[in-house]
């Protein structure tokens, strides 16, 4: 390792919330390999509240729109300025679309970069395992000059929650008259659900009918009478939750999508006794945090995207419709059976 650069590693990944949760496996491995935090270039409003408090992360730089041309993007220009001041060092590029040119503009040579697009895919390999394997790679110019990657202790995403976040959550629960309550969480919506058009349009591959969610809630209410049932989501998912709650007609069901930023969502997922969710970001975060998670999958491959990684408390439920894998083919009974096996009554 003679002459190894002292610069801490850099990772670029402009993904959705769930993508960034899974990326923590790579960040943890690079932290263990280099003995310190990793700087991250990301996009999306979820990146800073998710990553900034993690011990494996140093600075988080967000570009607001990855598709905006460089000369029109103030955040890309600011990123390049920061990279030039930061200096060249080892970088791991984790995206499938063009973006390496930003690293080049920032003064990072091509042979200082590990590009995930050059790494072969392994059949049946979960994304977490792929990221752990990617952390073992070394940029060509630095071969023999960097520490070896350690053996991972887990094959899962890792999210850390600090005491302040837990304390703030308890205050929020108290304000909603939920202090000390046992909690079961439901995540029925996703970003496609809230786009313009009918929720059940063909392009919404993660839509599961409101009436089925209502059946699930009624069963949970009957079997866990002491639990408060919380319907999660973004503000744009409030109307979906209201429709589901109205159909369920159950008591002690709380729509909290109006007041659930990521900084509050994460400790809530950690504290809850279970989550039933479509395949979306909160499902990955919940499983990574040790919350028993039942995830309804549509067309996505569970082998690649099982919530949180390989060794998490999660069950994926799948179905078929017209001979194809589809979330519409999932029955209420299948969801409840998975939930009962993962979160038995006590």
pLDDT tens across 182-193, in order?
Answer: 999 999 998 766
Q: What are phi and psi of 16, to 5 degrees?
A: -75, 175
Structure confidence at residue 1 as a pLDDT band (50, 70, 90): very low
Percent of the chain's residues with pLDDT above 70: 94
CA dist 192 and 182 (Å) reads: 30
Question: What six digits make up the tokens of 46?
Answer: 């979820």
Q: pTM to 2 decimals? A: 0.93
Element (H, E) at 321: strand 320-321
Q: At what angle do helices 281-288 and 17-34 cross, to 10 degrees?
A: 40
Percent of the chain at pLDDT above 90? 83
The pLDDT-based confidence of 44 (bands split at 50, 70, 90) is: confident
Mean predicted confidence (pLDDT) in 64-82: 90
Average pLDDT value over all residues in the chain? 92
User: In the chain, where are the structural domains located?
Assistant: 10-142, 163-342
Tokens coding 144: 């023999």
> 56's torsion region: left (phi>0), alpha (psi -120 to 50) or beta?
alpha
| 124 close to 303: Cβ distance less than 8 angstroms | yes
Distance from chain centroid for Cα 290: 14
Task: Residue 11: name the closest of 119, 135, 160, 117 by CA.
Answer: 135
pLDDT of residue 2: 45
Indicate the DSSP class of residue 195: S
pLDDT at 98 over 80: no
At residue 299, φ and ψ (nearest 5 deg) are -85, -20
Alpha-carbon distance of 152 to 126, in angstroms, equals 15
How sure is the predictor about 194, in pLDDT bands with cuts at 50, 70 and 90?
Answer: low
CATH topology of domain 163-342: Rossmann fold (3.40.50)
For the segment(s) 10-142, the CATH number from 3.10.310.40, 3.30.470.30, 3.40.50.2000, 3.40.718.10 is 3.40.50.2000
Q: Do domains 10-142 and 163-342 have the same CATH topology?
A: yes
């Amino acid at each position: 390792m003679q002459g190894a650069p002292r610069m801490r590693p850099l990772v670029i990944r402009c993904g959705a919330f769930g993508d960034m949760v899974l990326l923590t496996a790579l960040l943890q491995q690079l932290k263990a390999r280099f003995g310190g935090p990793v700087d991250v270039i990301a996009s999306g409003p979820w990146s800073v509240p998710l990553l900034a408090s993690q011990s494996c992360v140093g600075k988080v730089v967000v570009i607001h729109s990855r598709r905006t041309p460089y000369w029109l993007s103030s955040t890309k220009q600011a990123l390049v300025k920061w990279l030039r001041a930061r200096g060249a060092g080892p970088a791991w590029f984790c995206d499938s679309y063009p973006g390496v040119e930003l690293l080049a503009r920032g003064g990072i040579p091509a042979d200082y970069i590990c590009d995930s697009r050059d790494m072969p895919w392994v059949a049946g390999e979960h994304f977490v395992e792929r990221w752990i394997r990617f952390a073992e790679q070394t940029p060509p110019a630095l071969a023999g000059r960097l520490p070896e990657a350690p053996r991972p202790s887990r094959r899962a995403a890792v999210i850390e929650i600090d005491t302040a976040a837990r304390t703030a959550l308890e205050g929020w629960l108290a304000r909603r008259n939920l202090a000390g309550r046992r909690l079961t969480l439901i995540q029925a919506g996703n970003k496609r659900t809230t786009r313009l058009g009918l929720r059940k349009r063909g392009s919404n591959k993660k839509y599961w009918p409101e009436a089925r969610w209502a059946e699930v809630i009624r069963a949970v209410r009957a079997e866990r009478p002491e639990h408060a049932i919380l319907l999660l989501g973004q503000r744009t998912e409030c109307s979906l939750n209201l429709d589901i709650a109205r159909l369920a007609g159950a008591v002690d069901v709380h729509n909290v999508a109006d007041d659930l930023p990521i900084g509050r969502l994460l400790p809530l997922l950690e504290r809850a006794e279970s989550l039933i969710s479509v395949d979306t970001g909160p499902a990955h975060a919940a499983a990574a945090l040790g919350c028993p998670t039942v995830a309804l999958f549509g067309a996505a491959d569970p082998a690649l995207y099982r919530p949180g990684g390989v060794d998490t408390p999660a069950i994926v439920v799948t179905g078929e419709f017209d001979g194809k894998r589809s979330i519409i083919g999932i029955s209420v009974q299948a969801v409840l059976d998975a939930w009962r096996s993962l979160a038995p009554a006590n």
